Amino acid sequence: MLIRISLILAVIAALAVGVVNFVFVKDKIDTLVTDRNTNRDGWHETQAELAQTNKVLVKTQGTLKQTQQDLADTQSERDKAVANALAQSKRADQLADQLTKTTQERDDAQNNLEAYKVTGLTAEQVSKLNRALKDSEDMVEVVNQEKVVLQHAVARLRNSLDKYEGTNTDVVLRPDLKGKILVVDPKWDFVVLNIGEDQGVLNNGELLVSRDGRLVAKVVVRTVEKDRSIANIVPGWKLGEVIEGDEVSPAHPAT
């Protein structure tokens, strides 16, 4: 009887140990499975992030390449603008020297003509001197006109150069530039001016609109023609109604 009880107790103890081991092992297995799934999900997420990072890297490399190309193009344009500005400045200096020389020749010819008149020269000699004087005056007028054109070109090139170098964002206009408004379109807020390229107006130049000495608005030039230009009224600068006949002057005159 005692042996049977001992055997039953042993069997019960073995079963208890088995149950405990099964529960413990099951917990371990569940933990391992959970860790495995977590690691697997983390690996997938890492792979997805890596793929996204590679896409961003490829896009960034493309953007960098385009930026480098744009920089090279900008530097090339700047170099061209510098070369043009130097050439135009040199030409303007040459014209100034030529103008001085021609003016002196004209004055000398005029003085000689007066002197010859006093000495009693023949009509033919006086006629020759008159022709020489007229030719000199014509040359002075041509040189003056070409000088004005070159001054306009130099101003445009200097503004372009300042833009490329980032030294000046305002378009500088001639300080003596004056004009009037010919047409006003209140619907689209643009005006037509009676001054253009011949008077020294530059594209993107800003002009102050005034009436009787009072500031009315500010406009920015968008289209420049030979003797007129079209400008838009700058938002926030419209202090009153712009009308035909209003006067305009440079907002950023050259010093």
Tokens 């170099």 sit on residue? 79
Instruction: Judge whether 118 lies within some domain.
Output: yes
Domain CATH code at residue 69? 1.10.287
- pTM of the prediction? 0.40
Tokens of 80: 């061209």
Angle at 159 (CA atoms; ends 158, 160), nearest 5 degrees = 90
Same domain (yes/no): 69, 94:
yes
pLDDT of residue 201: 93
Do residues 244 and 184 make contact, with C-beta atoms less than 8 angstroms apart? yes
- The count of structural domains within the chain is 2
Domain that holds residue 21: 1-167
Q: Which residue among 112, 137, 167 closes a domain? A: 167
| Structure confidence by residue, pLDDT tens digits, 25-83 | 666 776 776 777 777 777 777 777 877 887 877 888 888 888 788 778 877 877 786 67
> Does pLDDT of 1 surpass 80?
no
Q: How far apart are CA 210 and CA 240, in angstroms?
A: 10
Instruction: Judge whether 44 lies within some domain.
Output: yes
Q: Which of 3-7, 108-112, 149-153, 185-189 has the lowest mean pLDDT?
A: 149-153
- Annotate 149-170 with DSSP letters as a single string: HHHHHHHHHHHHHHHHHTS--S
Tokens of 107: 């004055």
Same domain (yes/no): 228, 105:
no
| Burial (CB count <10 Å: 0-12, 13-18, 19+), residue 140 | middle
pLDDT of residue 196: 93
Of the pLDDT bands very low, low, confident and very high (cuts 50, 70, 90), residue 218 is very high
| Structure confidence by residue, pLDDT tens digits, 229-255 | 999 999 989 999 999 999 999 998 987
Q: Which distant-in-sequence residues (6+ apart) come within 8 Å of 229 by Cβ? A: 192, 193, 195, 196, 197, 201, 221, 223
Helix spans in the chain (H): 2-119, 123-165
For 215, phi and psi rounded to 5 degrees?
Answer: -70, 130
